[in-house]
């Protein structure tokens, strides 16, 4: 990308340590993990005894939630390791790996639940509506508690937000299962269990797609959501004394940690460092970009004349 203006500017490197209260988030994840793990065991047992695919679907989703929370905890610990050797950015992207793994697992599990739900729509087994309703109501309470705990964690991290979405989706799934249990008790319509499982699968697909799409953007080093590189380039070129901005790159090292690099040409008679500081202030204040690497050079006389003729 190349952006020009009849003026000039500079470049430098600004490094910012993005610490997001990992200790508090780790504690909240651990509490949520304990809540869901205890309930998971109960739900599997009751689901098998009640022959409820909806409960087993919820249990499968909750198993993914438990794995997601455990993976998030591990990712936070690994990501906190300092940079060194060939890992110049440290291990920050481990959190993105965690988010993508969670998203892919959700999609796979949704496919399995979908197949089983369709089979039970065709040949519905007898379902113990009372057990389904009781466990679903208990699941709502447990997931409400887990959601409340995770709501206070640092959700600017895609890793933690992924875990939060897992738990929130499971809450919605339990609500659907409770409705199915009530319908079975009142009407004897056993297919309501399979229909609730289809709802669970749909919710899992939605969450899985969002996680995979967001994490893939980071791996492809796309600009952060809502950030327009063309707008940034134009803003940099508009800084007084900037002649040209090119080789502009904006990407995410990990969620909440955006980085920018660019080559900036400035007029021959200005202080490069002063212009660079001005660009850095503008990027921080206007675009919240604090990790910047700007290579700044003076423009040749011929280049200045070319720019003035085009202006």
243 pLDDT above the threshold of 70: yes
Q: What is the mean pLDDT of residues 279-292?
A: 93
Helix axes 53-79, 94-122, angle to 10 degrees: 180
The better pLDDT of the pair 78, 156 is held by 78
The better pLDDT of the pair 18, 190 is held by 190
**Is the distance from CB of 274 to CB of 42 less than 8 angstroms?**
no
Cα four-point dihedral sign 221, 227, 231, 236: negative
- Calculate the dihedral angle through the C-alpha atoms of 70, 72, 73, 78, rounding to the nearest 10 degrees: 130
How far apart CA 76 and CA 162 sit, in angstroms, is: 13
How far apart CA 40 and CA 139 sit, in angstroms, is: 9
253 pLDDT above the threshold of 60: yes
151 pLDDT above the threshold of 50: yes
256 pLDDT above the threshold of 70: yes
Q: What is the pLDDT of residue 201?
A: 86
2 pLDDT above the threshold of 70: no
Q: Mean pLDDT for the chain?
A: 80
Q: What is the mean pLDDT of residues 271-276?
A: 90
| pLDDT (tens digit per residue) in 48-69 | 887 776 667 667 767 777 877 8
Q: What is the pLDDT of residue 232?
A: 95
Among 39, 91, 45, 26, which Cα is nearest to 65's? 39
Q: What is the pLDDT of residue 310?
A: 41
Q: What is the pLDDT of residue 238?
A: 93
- Sorted by where each starts, the structural domains of the chain and their CATH numbers stand as 2-16+223-310 (3.30.70.1350), 22-219 (1.20.1510.10)
Q: What is the pLDDT of residue 242?
A: 92
Confidence of residue 250 (pLDDT cuts 50, 70, 90): very high
122 pLDDT above the threshold of 80: yes
The better pLDDT of the pair 224, 24 is held by 224
Q: What is the pLDDT of residue 254?
A: 83
One DSSP character per residue, 71-108 reads HHHHHHHHHTSPPBTTBTTTTTTHHHHHHHHHHHHHHH
Q: How many residues does the chain have?
A: 311
3-state SS string over 12-70?
A: CEECCCCCCCHHHHHHHHHHHHHHHHHHHHHHHHHHHHHCCHHHHHHHHHHHHHHHHHH
Confidence of residue 293 (pLDDT cuts 50, 70, 90): very high
The better pLDDT of the pair 88, 100 is held by 100
Q: Any idea which of 23-37, 58-72, 189-203, 284-298 has the lowest mean pLDDT?
A: 58-72
Q: What is the mean pLDDT of residues 79-105?
A: 80
Confidence of residue 158 (pLDDT cuts 50, 70, 90): confident
Q: What is the mean pLDDT of residues 274-287?
A: 93
How far apart CA 55 and CA 68 sit, in angstroms, is: 19
Would the pTM of this model clear 0.75, i.e. be above it?
A: no
CB atoms within 10 A of CB 137: 16
Q: What is the pLDDT of residue 19?
A: 45
Q: What is the pLDDT of residue 249?
A: 95
Among 284, 292, 229, 224, which Cα is nearest to 254's? 224
| pLDDT (tens digit per residue) in 170-221 | 888 888 888 888 888 888 887 887 888 888 888 889 888 988 998 999 999 8
311 pLDDT above the threshold of 60: no
């Amino acid at each position: 990308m190349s952006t020009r203006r009849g003026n000039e500017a500079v470049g430098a490197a600004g490094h910012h340590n993005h610490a997001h209260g990992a200790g508090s988030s780790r504690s909240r994840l651990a509490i949520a993990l304990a809540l869901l793990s205890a309930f998971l065991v109960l739900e599997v047992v009751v689901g098998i005894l009640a022959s409820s695919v909806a409960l087993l679907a919820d249990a499968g989703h909750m198993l993914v939630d438990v794995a997601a929370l455990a993976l998030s905890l591990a990712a936070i610990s690994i990501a906190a390791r300092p940079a060194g050797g060939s890992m110049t950015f440290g291990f920050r992207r481990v959190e993105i790996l965690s988010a993508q793994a969670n998203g892919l697992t959700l999609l796979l599990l949704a496919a399995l639940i979908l197949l089983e739900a369709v089979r039970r729509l065709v040949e519905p087994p007898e379902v113990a509506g009372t057990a389904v309703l009781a466990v679903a109501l208990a699941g709502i309470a447990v997931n409400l508690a887990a959601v409340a705990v995770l709501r206070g964690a640092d959700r600017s991290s895609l890793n933690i937000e992924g875990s939060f979405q897992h738990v929130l989706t499971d809450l919605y799934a339990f609500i659907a299962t409770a409705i199915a249990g009530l319908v079975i008790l009142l009407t004897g319509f056993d297919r309501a269990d399979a229909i609730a499982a289809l709802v669970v699968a749909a919710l899992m697909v939605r969450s899985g797609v969002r996680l995979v799409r967001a994490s893939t953007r980071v791996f492809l080093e796309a600009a952060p959501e809502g950030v327009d590189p063309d707008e940034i380039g134009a803003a940099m070129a508009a800084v007084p004394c900037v002649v040209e901005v090119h080789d502009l790159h904006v990407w995410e090292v990990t969620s909440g940690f955006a980085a920018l690099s660019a080559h900036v040409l400035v007029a021959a008679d200005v202080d490069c460092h002063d212009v660079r500081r001005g660009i850095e202030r503008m990027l921080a204040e206007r675009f919240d970009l604090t990790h910047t690497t700007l290579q700044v050079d003076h423009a040749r006389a011929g280049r200045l004349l070319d720019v003035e003729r085009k202006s």
